[in-house]
Amino acid sequence: MPETILSKTVLDCAKLTTREINQQLKALASEGIEQVEVVNPAGRHNLAIALEHPITISFQGSVGYYCGGLCDRATIEINGSCGWSVGENLMSGQITVQGNASANAGASAHGGKICILGNAGPRAAISLKGATLIVSGNVGHSSAFMMQQGRFIICGDAGENLGDSIYDGQIFVGGTIKSLGADARLEPMTAQDWEMLTQELHPLGLDAKAYEFKKIVCAQELYHFKAKDFSKWKDAY
């Protein structure tokens, strides 16, 4: 059973299965417990999945893949690194990763915010649908592939094919871009963009003006198929 210390509930994963961990987290959230510290996560996969009530969860250690997926209104902090697809299909709330993230960070996230205070692997923000994904370091190739809505802020460098087949949304890169994908283009930064970046990065201890941000949006050349543009579609797909 979880141990309650003052206003904090401590949940030790050492002798629990993944199903039991998630069942207890859901029960605590439904009971109105505000804060849970999870110890000994030991890189387990599928932790804190599909939480539907407001709760703050702090993982003391690294976690595996799909942590925080499908969550609504939860606040999750990972004091370590995480596997692929952190925050997959996130609906609302916030996930903060103090270390690095593997591939597909924020995949298909509809809302909320995911902050990775390290590097992220390939395909970060793939099919992003409205959330905000912030990476303080670098991201790998094919990030923001088929991005549909939302905001993707990369303070470091971006790998090949950034924003390939992007449909909508905004990408900001503070470092270098190895290459842009099909239908992605650079757009001039505005004063409103800099103001937004300052507001998003300041709470993370980051200074937007310390980076040379570039803005990437959809060129809208692939919105409608035209025979004369077949080569562009071929390159994209």
pLDDT number for residue 231: 60
Share of the chain above pLDDT 90, in %: 89
Neighbouring-strand partners of residue 35: 56
* Mean pLDDT of the residues in the chain: 93
Q: Where are the beta strands (DSSP E) in the chain?
A: 3-5, 8-12, 35-39, 55-60, 74-78, 93-97, 113-116, 129-135, 149-154, 170-173, 184-187, 214-218
CB contact set of 31 (below 8 Å; sequence gap of 6+): none
Q: Map tokens 């992003």 to a residue.
A: 128
Neighbouring C-beta atoms of residue 218, cutoff 10 Å: 21
- Model pLDDT for residues 166-185, shown as the tens digit of each residue: 999 999 999 999 999 999 99
Return the CATH number of 3-236, one of 3.40.630.30, 3.40.50.620, 2.160.20.60, 2.20.25.90. Answer: 2.160.20.60
> Is residue 21 a contact partner of residue 50, using CB atoms and an 8 Å limit?
no
pLDDT number for residue 234: 55
pLDDT number for residue 6: 44
**How many degrees, rounded to 5, is the angle at CA 213 between CA 142 and CA 195?**
120
Global confidence as pTM: 0.93
- CA 143/CA 193 separation, integer angstroms: 21
